[in-house]
Structure formats: structure tokens, C-alpha cells
Amino acid sequence: MNKARRNPFNIAAMHGALILYTLIALFPVFVIVINSFKSRKAIFREPLALPDADTFSMIGYQTVMKQGDFFLYFQNSMIVTVASLFFILLFGAMAAFALSEYRFKGNTLMGLYLALGIMIPIRIGTVAILDMMVATGLVNSLMALILVYTAQGLPLAVFILSEFMRQVSDDLKNAGRIDGLSEYTIFFRLVLPLVRPAMATVAVFNMIPIWNDLWFPLILAPAEETKTLTLGSQVFIGQFVTDWNAVLSALSMAILPVMVLYVIFSRQLIRGITSGAVK
Amino acid sequence: MTALTLSNVCKSFGKVDVLKNIDLTVEENEFVVFVGPSGCGKSTLLRVIAGLEDATSGTVEIDGQQVNDVPPAKRGIAMVFQSYALYPHLTVRGNMVLGLKQAGHPKDEIERRIAEASRMLSLEPYLDRRPAELSGGQRQRVAIGRAIVRNPKLFLFDEPLSNLDAALRLNTRVEIANLHRQLDASMIYVTHDQTEAMTLADKIVVLRDGRVEQIGSPMELYNDPANRFVAEFIGSPAMNFVPADMIGGNTGTFIGIRPEYAQLGQTGQLNGTVIHVEKLGADTNAMINIGTDKPFTVRAFGQHDVLPGAEVGISFDQAKVLSFGEDGKRL
């Protein structure tokens, strides 16, 4: 193992494979970003060329800024994603704690019931959800989206987190009980910090689909003031004419916040892994 | 005043009875050790006393008060766990302070107790470190310190030494014994190691399958075991059991001879072949095949040259022999 790791040929092959994969993964993003800074003609003439003095144009960004309330869409997407993640993590972790920590009748059954959602896509229930949202008057509100995404994310969160919480030492929780900590304090102060890597995993898994979702915003909250970024960008894609400058600019900008969130969580993820490894 | 009284305590998990009718009293300042093989219920019993598990039936009294419905923090106990169970995100000081803060003690009182405990355990240089920066022995001392600052009536130790290496185990054992002499408190200590039990205890409780087999001082258990299980569990190397008819006793009954009460010679009450010899310097253990399932162990003091394969006789003083009936009870 060690010999193989030191062999220069192996190192080169390993790095080569990783670099190749990185290039393939980043290429579409790269194309979107460079083309968002080019004029419409230049996009079609040479899609892979970098913008130069002739082809450089901010027209796409200008269109995006002028048309529609782009910052509002941005804000809506951000609110929906962050609030959904918060509720998924909070309720998921609490349910997972109860399932892994307390012995009660129907514990296993409850666990299975909560995990069932992993196998059944929530979109099957779209009509019923829409009915419910209409009945409760939540249509065209961000709350509708937050509730649906929370429901969508909970099954996987409960499943992953309860597995991790089973590994937290019983002695530690019992030591807390003897020191007079309440169950809530034990949960928030002792258990949550120890399952932080798992929380980060759950957050990353849930964040991207929520941010990118078009289905539920289109159905539950299509009003101008509740449009999310993905839905808002659709105005530039028409049946006959598509404003590619605007679409590419909108997409380029949409990458940024989700990347920031990802960096935050992935750092947690790495910190969690390494802190366990070097103990 | 008794520190702890258990009457008729039972505990079952579903259909499995883990503890069956446990009765026990612990006097003030007594050091009681629960000992038994894995799965005998000793840790569960400790958890019931601590209040981490509820007794299915029976009563638990600490310091004269029934505490069945009192939460662990209000029982006047402190517990030291096998895995130390230190709060990983708090410093040594933070670990010790937390329980006192929760109980609402005044600040200067907390400071005084921490200073006292860290002096007793020589933890002063480490007060601002986190558990991850400490060695195993230091972590165990912090765990003990966290128990001491609570100033409990009753200390509970759950196999506190089993994660330490042999040398450290001996030191910490002495430290715990010292601590017991200095502190005005009763201690209950769970272990599966009979050496720890013998060296620390005022009173040993031998448990098997959720039942108390015998309660007594270490020497009582050693000299006067109630049954074959206790006789075999206490003492190392373990007692030898020989069917009584091999030396002219009743068929079906057994006699027990401690390895240290038997001598090797040319002839003796029993004869056999040496199959293995362990030389420990201070004494020599010889295992002799006398035709029973388990070899007969003879412990000779000092260094002896016995070779495997030699034919030897085993002699012993009849007065030191214990007799056990077919059911394992002492006759």
C-alpha cells in the first residue's frame, strides 16, 4: 500500500484521473460563465472562445437586472433553501435522537414509517399538496415551498442522522444526565456537535435539489413576488426566442450563493472527519 | 446510617430478566465491589442505582430516602464511566464545573471545590486543556475529578480501569483506594476483574445471571465460598475441582482445593502428568493432568524446576479442602 502510494507513476496516474474528472465536471460551468460575458453573436459563432475586446459584453447581466425583480428572486430562493435546510436539520435531528435514544413501543415501526419517504417521491402527491395549500391559503407563499421541501428532506435526514446518533456514546449522555442536564441540553450541547459531519452531509444532499427545483415553485408559488431564481430565469427561455445572454448570466449568478453554502458545509464535513482521525 | 438500601430490585428488558430480586445494603463509608462475569447484570444494577434505568419493581433508597422517582442529578451520587465520558468540547475545568453550575452552586464554592479536587488528583497543569489533549490515565483522573467535585454521598464506578494499560491500572487502583480513605463517602465499584475486587473492597457482591450469589468481605469469599461459582470466580489461579470419589468421597460430589494449598511431590493423594509450567519468578504454576476435564493447577512459591511430562503426586491438607454437592452448593 505504502509502496504503491510512493511510486511516481501511480501518483501521476492518480492525479491525472482526478484532474481529468475535475475538468469534465467543471467544463459546463466554465462554458456558461465565459459565454455569459459575450455578445449574442459571439456565443453562437465561437461558443468555446474566451471573451476578448470585441466580443466582451455585459448585455446579459444588464437584461437580467432590468427585467423582472432579479434580486427578489434571489432572495426568495435563499430564504426557501436556508429555511428548509434549517427545519430539515432541526426536526430530522430531533426525530433521529428520539428514535435512537429512547425505548418505546413501536420505535422500529416509527423509524420505518419515517424512512418510507425515501422510496416514495413527494411529487406523486403534487395534486393533493396543491389542494391542501389552496385550502389553507398558503398558495403563492414561500411558506408553502418551505413546508414541502422540509417534508421532502426529512426522511433521508432521519435515516442518516439516527444511524449516526446510535454511535454517540451512551456514557456521555448518561454523564450529562447525572450532571443534571435536561434532555434538550444533552441533545443540543452534547449530541449535535458530535454528529456535525452527518448534519453537513444531510445539508449538502438536500440543498442542491431545493435550490434547483422548478416543479414546486411553478405549481405552488408562481406569483411574481414569490418566484424563485430557477423559475424567474424561465422568462428568458421562450418557445421561439431564447435570450441566451440573459439565461447564461442568470445561471452564472445563481451558482454563487449555493457555492458559498456548499463551502460552509463542506468545511464542517472535513473538520468533522479529520477531528475524529487525529484524536 | 445506611448509604444505600436495595430491596427486592428486579429489572427486565422486555421478556429478559436482567436483575432478579436483588437485596443489598451499603453502609456509610463502605467500599462495595460488584463482581461477576460479563452479562451478569452488574452494570445494569449500577445504572438502576444511578437512576439511568428504572427498576421494574423493588425500591432503591439512598441515604434513607426512597429515590425510585428521583432523577439521577438529584440523588446525591456521582458516576465514573468506563469510557470516561468527558464532554469533548469542554476543557478539564469546564467538565468539572458543568454539573455544579447546573445545580446552581455559588461561584466561589465552585472554585474552591475545583481547586480541592485538582489538587487531590494533581490535575492543576491540565485545567485548561481539552480531553483530546490528555492521555488515557489523565482522562480517567478528570472523570474521577468530575465525580469528586459533586461532593456525593455515593460514588459509582463502572469498570473505571478497564481501558487503562496494566501499569496505569495498578497506579489508579491505589489512587482510588487512597481517595476512599480521604473522602467521606461510600463507593460502589463494578468490575469483572477479581484482583480489583479483592484489593479494593470492604465488601464484595458476586453476581451471576442477575442474582446475588454471595455477599461478604474478600477473605470471607476466599475462605468460605457459598458455592462452586464463587469459589471458582474468586482467587487466581482458580480453585481446582476434583470429583470426590477420586479420593474416596461420595460419588457425585466435588472437592475444591486452591492451587496454593497443594504441593507437588513423588506421591500424594492424586497423581498425574505435568502438561505445562508457568514460572512467574515469585511463584511457579504447574498444570497437571489427573484424568479430569480441566488440568489440576498447583501453585508453588518460589522457583521450582518442574518439566512438562514428569509424573508427579499432588498432596494437600484435608483441613483446607472444601466440599461441594452435586448442585454446586457447599456441603
pLDDT of residue B2: 87
State how far the Cα of A192 lies from the Cα of A87, in Å rounded to an integer.
15
Quick check: A175 and B85 CB within 8 A?
Answer: yes
Domain span at residue A38 reads: 2-57
pLDDT value for B32: 95
Distance of CA B266 to the CA centre of its chain: 39
Question: Crossing angle of helices A244-277/A8-36, nearest 10°?
Answer: 150
Give A-chain residues touching B70 at CB under 8 angstroms: none
Contacts of B135 in chain A (CB under 8 A): none
Residue A278 has pLDDT above 70, yes or no: no
Interface residue B5 vs chain A (CB under 8 A)? no
Check pLDDT > 50 for residue B270.
Answer: yes
Mean pLDDT of A60-84: 87
- Say whether both A18 and A76 belong to one domain: no
Q: What is the pLDDT of residues B42-88, one digit of tens each?
A: 999 999 999 999 999 999 999 889 999 999 999 999 999 988 899 98
Cell of B118: 485538582
The complex's ipTM works out to 0.83
In terms of CATH, what superfamily is B2-231? Answer: P-loop containing nucleotide triphosphate hydrolases (3.40.50.300)
Q: How far is A86 from chain B (nearest CA, A)?
A: 23
Regarding whether A130 and A72 lie in a shared domain, the answer is yes
Computed over every residue of chain B, the mean pLDDT equals 91
Q: What is the pLDDT of residue A3?
A: 63
Whether A121 has a pLDDT exceeding 70, the answer reads yes
| Residues A17 and A154 placed together within one structural domain of the fold | no
Same domain, A49 and A76: no
Taking a C-beta distance cutoff of 8 angstroms, is the pair B148, B78 a contact? yes
- From the number of C-beta atoms within 10 Å of its C-beta (0-12, 13-18, 19+), residue A276 rates as exposed
Task: Report how many domains make up chain A.
Answer: 2
* pLDDT, tens digit, 9 for 90 and up, residues B132-162: 889 888 999 999 999 999 989 899 999 998 8
- In a shared domain, residues A8 and A99: no
Q: Which CATH class for the B239-324 domain?
A: mainly beta
pLDDT of residue A25: 92
Domain ranges in chain B are: 2-231, 239-324
- Contacts B72 to A, Cβ<8 Å: 174, 177-178, 180
B268 touches chain A (CB under 8 A): no
Query: pLDDT for A138-167, tens place per residue?
Result: 999 999 999 999 999 999 999 999 988 988
**Pair A121, A28 in one domain:** no
Residues A132 and A251 in one domain: yes
- Residue A26 and residue A98 in one domain: no
For residue A130, what pLDDT is reported?
A: 94
Q: Is B88 close to A194, i.e. CB distance below 8 A?
A: yes
| A137 Cβ under 8 Å from any chain B Cβ | no
pLDDT band of A44, cuts 50, 70, 90: confident
Most confident of A60-64, A86-90, B115-119, B289-293: A86-90
Using the CB atoms, write b or e for A91-108: b if 16+ within 10 Å.
bbbbbbbbbbbeeeeeee
Of the CA atoms within 13 Å of residue A249, those in its CB half-sphere come to 22
Q: How far is CA A260 from CA A78, A142, B121, B182, in A?
A: 11, 22, 47, 57
C-alpha torsion angle, residues B237, B241, B242, B244 (rounded to 10): 140
Share of chain B above pLDDT 90, in %: 65
Q: Would residue B94 be called left, alpha or beta, if left means φ above 0 and alpha means ψ between -120 and 50 degrees? A: alpha
Summarize the confidence of residues A49-70 as an average pLDDT: 81
3-state secondary structure of B279: strand
> How much is the pLDDT for A279?
37
Shared domain check, A101 and A19 = no
CA distance A115 to chain B (A): 25
What CATH number corresponds to the domain at position A208? 1.10.3720.10
Those residues whose C-beta lies under 8 Å from the C-beta of residue A112, and which sit 6 or more positions away, are none
pLDDT tens digits, A196-243: 888 888 888 888 889 989 999 999 998 888 988 888 888 787 777 778
Query: Which residue, A57, A87, A102, sits at the end of a domain?
Result: A57
CB contacts under 8 A, B 58-117 vs A, are: 71-74, 77-79, 81-89, 98-99, 102-103
Residues whose CB is less than 8 angstroms from the CB of residue A114 and which lie 6 or more positions away in sequence, other chains included: A95, A99, A154, A155, A158, A159
Q: How many of the other CB atoms lie within 10 Å of CB of B146?
A: 28
pLDDT at B24 over 70: yes
Q: What is the mean pLDDT of chain A?
A: 86
Which residues, in sequence order, are CB contacts of A69 under 8 Å at separation 6+? A224
Kindly state the percentage of chain A with pLDDT values over 70.
94
Please provide residue B191's backbone torsions phi and psi, each rounded to the nearest 5 degrees.
-155, 160
> Do A121 and A8 share a structural domain?
no
pLDDT category at A273 given cuts 50, 70, 90 is low
Do A87 and A150 lie in one domain? The reply is yes
